[in-house]
């Protein structure tokens, strides 16, 4: 609707200018004729006196019409400018609201996905094979736990690996020892995921870290979830160690930012992003800046909104969280470069 209003305003402006220019041309020619008529009347002397009066009136009439034409051009131009301004504002607000909704949709989709990850880590930490790997610590228990983790990974393809660490922070078994061979035996006691996982107060709790690259997982970007593995798999059991699960971030997040419902034309001029609470680019539809670019989002403490810069519109929405997953304060963000006529 706003696009139609703007196109109509531009067309009215064009047609008005064209027609007023034609009137100006006719009046210019009329003025020239009136001048010539007065000259001829002057040559005719008294015989041309009456005609001189007519010529004078023709000149006056041409002047009046030129004045009216000028007033019309000015009035139309002023109102067209107001109409264009109103149409541009309507277009900006409609697009801003729509993009803000799409930005929220992007961050909601990823948080719903990550909520499932929080469920996975709490569930798998109670698996008897995982608990026995730490409770017994013998080779047979560790191998069985590894086989169990490998079975999970074959079904849940969004994970790179699953690690079991003892209470000292040494990884004792994993689901993919053949692929990530440096993991088993590694000391992870200083890592955020292990420390937060061991600090959980019950089996109902979990820990999540912002997206980071993991050297032991081929420097892949991962979302790390963890919780304590407890004696007997009990909710309040003694903490034996921690389970860490590592979500393969890049392909999952890329599919979300590329799949947001923009038109083909909008997609060509837009960038859809997921941003951390500190505006670090976590994913971008143009595949640029992941974990290296800090985007200059101006949310001004608003949880949702949009604004305009010199040549673009930026819409944003903060995650509302999902179920028991409160999220990490991430943002969905859409930036669109504007055409000069918008």
Residue 149 pLDDT class (50, 70, 90 cuts): very high
> 241 with 136, same domain?
yes
129 and 247 inside one domain: yes
Specify whether the CB–CB gap between 299 and 291 falls below 8 A: no
Q: Could you tell me if 155 and 63 lie in one domain?
A: no
Rounded mean pLDDT of the chain?
86
Buried b (16+ CB within 10 A) or exposed e, 313-334: bbbbbbbebbeebebbebbbbb
Confidence of residue 215 (pLDDT cuts 50, 70, 90): very high
Please check whether residue 222 lies inside any domain of the structure. yes
CATH code for the domain of 223 = 3.30.450.20
Say whether both 160 and 53 belong to one domain.
no
Residue 195: give the domain boundaries.
Answer: 125-251
Distances (CA, A) of 20 to 12, 15, 29, 81, 111: 12, 9, 14, 17, 59
| Confidence class for position 325, pLDDT limits 50, 70, 90 | confident
Name which residue leads in pLDDT, 28 or 227. 227
pLDDT the model gives residue 310: 86
d(CA 105, CA 255): 13
Q: Is the pLDDT of residue 49 over 90?
A: no
Residue 124 has pLDDT above 80, yes or no: yes
| Residue 147 pLDDT class (50, 70, 90 cuts) | very high
Q: Are residues 144 and 81 in the same domain?
A: no
Residues 69 and 159 in one domain: no
Residue 120 lies in a domain: no
Q: Is 276 contained in some domain? A: no
Q: Are 22 and 65 contained in the same domain?
A: yes
Query: Nearest to residue 208, comparing CAs of 152, 246, 241, 176?
Result: 246
| Inter-residue contact 177 to 184 (CB < 8 Å) | yes
221 and 146 belong to one structural domain: yes
Task: Count structural domains, the chain.
Answer: 2
The confidence score (pLDDT) of residue 275 equals 97
Task: Give yes or no: residues 36 and 82 share one domain.
Answer: yes
Q: Is residue 228 part of a domain?
A: yes
Do 131 and 78 belong to one domain?
no
**Res 327: pLDDT:** 84
Q: Report the distance separating Cα 332 and Cα 106, nearest Å.
A: 6
Out of 251, 272, 288, a domain closes at 251
Q: How confident is the model at residue 274 (pLDDT cuts 50, 70, 90)?
A: very high
Given this model, what pLDDT does residue 33 score?
60
Give tens-digit pLDDT for 60-85.
Answer: 666 666 666 666 666 666 666 666 66
What integer is the mean pLDDT of 233-249? 97
Among 229, 251, 273, the domain-final residue is 251
How many C-beta atoms lie closer than 10 Å to residue 264's C-beta?
6
291-320 pLDDT per residue, tens: 999 999 999 999 999 999 988 999 999 998
Examine residue 57 and state whether it is found in any structural domain, yes or no: yes
Q: Cβ(255)–Cβ(157) under 8 Å?
A: no
pLDDT exceeding 90 applies to what percent of the chain? Answer: 67
Taking the C-alpha atoms of residue 96 and residue 263, their distance in angstroms, rounded to an integer, is: 15
Pick the closest to residue 104 from 335, 326, 333 (CA basis): 333
Do 171 and 215 belong together in one domain? yes
- Per-position b or e across 23-51, b if 16+ CB within 10 A of its CB: beeebeebbeebeebbeebeeeeeebeee
**Paired tokens of 29:** 């020619």
Boundary (domain end) residue, out of 204, 221, 251:
251
Identify whether 242 is part of a domain: yes
153 and 83 in a common domain: no
42 belongs to a structural domain: yes
> What is the pLDDT at residue 128?
96
Contact call for residues 273 and 285 (beta carbons, < 8 A): yes
**Residue 12, CB-side half-sphere exposure with 13 Å CA sphere:** 18
SS3 229: strand
| CATH code (residue 28) | 1.10.287.950
- Range of 21-25, 64-68, 82-86, 114-118 with top mean pLDDT: 114-118
| 230 occurs within a structural domain | yes
């Amino acid at each position: 609707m706003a696009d139609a209003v703007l196109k109509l305003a531009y067309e009215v402006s064009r047609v008005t200018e064209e027609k007023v220019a034609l009137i100006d041309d006719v009046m210019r020619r009329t003025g020239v004729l009136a001048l010539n008529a007065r000259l001829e009347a002057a040559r005719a002397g008294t015989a041309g006196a009456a005609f001189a009066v007519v010529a004078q009136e023709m000149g006056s009439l041409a002047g009046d019409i030129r004045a009216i034409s000028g007033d019309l051009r000015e009035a139309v131009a002023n109102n067209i400018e107001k109409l264009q301004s109103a149409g541009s504002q309507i277009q900006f607000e409609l697009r801003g609201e729509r993009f803000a909704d799409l930005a929220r949709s992007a961050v909601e989709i990823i948080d719903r996905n990550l909520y499932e990850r929080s469920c996975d880590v709490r569930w798998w930490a109670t698996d008897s094979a995982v608990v026995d790997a730490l409770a017994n610590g013998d080779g047979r228990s560790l191998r069985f736990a590894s086989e169990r983790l490998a079975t999970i990974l074959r079904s849940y393809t969004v994970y790179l690996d699953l690690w079991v660490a003892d209470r000292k922070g040494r990884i004792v078994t994993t689901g993919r020892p053949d692929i990530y061979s440096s993991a088993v035996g590694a000391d992870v006691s200083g890592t955020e995921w292990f420390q937060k996982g061991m600090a959980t107060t019950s089996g109902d709790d979990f820990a999540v870290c912002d997206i980071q690259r993991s050297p032991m997982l081929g420097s892949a970007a991962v979302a790390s979830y963890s919780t304590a593995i407890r004696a007997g798999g009990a909710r309040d059991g003694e903490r034996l160690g921690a389970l860490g699960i590592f979500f393969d971030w890049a392909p999952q997040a890329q599919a979300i930012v590329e799949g947001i419902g923009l038109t083909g034309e909008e997609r060509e001029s837009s960038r859809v992003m997921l941003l951390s609470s500190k505006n670090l680019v976590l994913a971008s539809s143009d595949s640029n800046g992941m974990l290296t670019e800090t985007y200059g989002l101006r949310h001004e403490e608003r949880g949702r909104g949009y604004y305009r810069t010199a040549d673009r519109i930026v819409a944003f929405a903060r995650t509302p969280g999902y179920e028991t997953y409160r999220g990490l304060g991430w943002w969905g963000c859409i930036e669109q470069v504007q055409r000069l006529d918008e």
